[in-house]
A = this chain, B = another copy of it.
Amino acid sequence: MQPIRNVAIVGAGLVGSGWAIVFARSGATVRVYDAEASIRASVLDRIRDSLADMREVGLVDDVDAIAGRITVADTLGDAVSDADYIQESVFERVDVKTAISLAIDAAMRPDAIVGSSSSGIPASAFTEGCVHRSRFLVSHPVNPPHLVPVVELVPAPWTDPAIVPFLRTEMARFGQVPVVVNREIAGFILNRLQGALLNEAWALFEEGYASAADIDATVAHGLGLRWSFMGPFETIDLNAPGGVADYAQRLGPLYHSVAQDRTEPKPWSEGLVGKVAAERREALPGESLADRRAWRDGRLMRLVAHKQAQKD
């Protein structure tokens, strides 16, 4: 397969416009399409705003050059017909994903690759009826993809096996950090790891061991620091004199007991969620959520700039 030069973005909300930046900043030509005319009309301005923010912290140099590689298409066919790679980021519901996949399928080059930004629905749930279904897979980013580099590549059972290693190389070339999920599983890797930690957090809160604020502080000022530059296996590998095997021998029994405490998981009940929501709304009123999201995005951008400035 030839390197990806022409990219189509289908669905140009926050995720899709972030993807447009990812591909354009590494030199690809990007055609963006969204079914909403208002989104098509505003997407280039939003992308320019993001690029200007990124330039301020040194994440990009030439905003005009990057933005100049991105154009908006008025029809899906116009966006995807010439694309080597199509990144689909529409609303996450099986019927919506199925409809857009069939529409892409009808307009794409037979040798193009289609990655879906789906964060939980596997590609097998919405690509079975596609003529070119062997060209489809999940390419799940973290939002926003132009700041958080990880992308989970999850093939459907019918995805051409050559696509995963090819896209892994290509995504790395575009500055992302691809990880391969060898076969489909609910939540893929990222959201399963998040879910496991969240489930324990909810249980500890429910049982009265700590406030949501203190559980949050345990991560934000403790556990999460190493995890922003090392994964959980490397963390424990470095945390015992003899490496991960030594660590497992010392602490495996403790962690097994943690799991044994949770063999009858309950759903996050309405009452429980209500208590955490009440604590959160006291700490941050609902009308301040948008401001806090802007704060988060600024912190994230400066953290990414900090990480890029590290020599290794």
Which of the listed residues A185, A229, A253, A277 has the most CB atoms from chain B within 10 Å of its own CB? A229
List chain B residues, Cβ under 8 A from A193.
197, 200-201, 204, 215, 218-219, 223
Shortest Cβ distance from residue A256 to the other chain B in the assembled complex, whole angstroms? 5
By a beta-carbon cutoff of 8 Å, the part of chain A in contact with chain B is: 120, 142, 148-150, 152, 177, 179-183, 185-187, 189-201, 204, 208-234, 236-238, 242-245, 248-249, 251-260, 262-268, 273-274, 276-277, 280-281, 284, 286, 289, 292-293, 295-296, 299-300, 302-304, 306, 310, 312
Shortest Cβ distance from residue A167 to the other chain B in the assembled complex, whole angstroms? 14
Shortest Cβ distance from residue A204 to the other chain B in the assembled complex, whole angstroms? 6
Shortest Cβ distance from residue A182 to the other chain B in the assembled complex, whole angstroms? 6
A259 touches B265 (CB 8 A): yes
CA distance A254 to B210 in the complex (A): 24
When A196-B197, A273-B244, A310-B299 are in contact, do A179 and B280 touch as well, CB less than 8 Å?
Answer: no
Q: A268: which of B181, B234, B256 is its contact (CB, 8 Å)?
A: B256
CA distance A277 to B249 in the complex (A): 12
When A186-B258, A233-B212, A255-B198 are in contact, do A245 and B273 touch as well, CB less than 8 Å?
Answer: yes
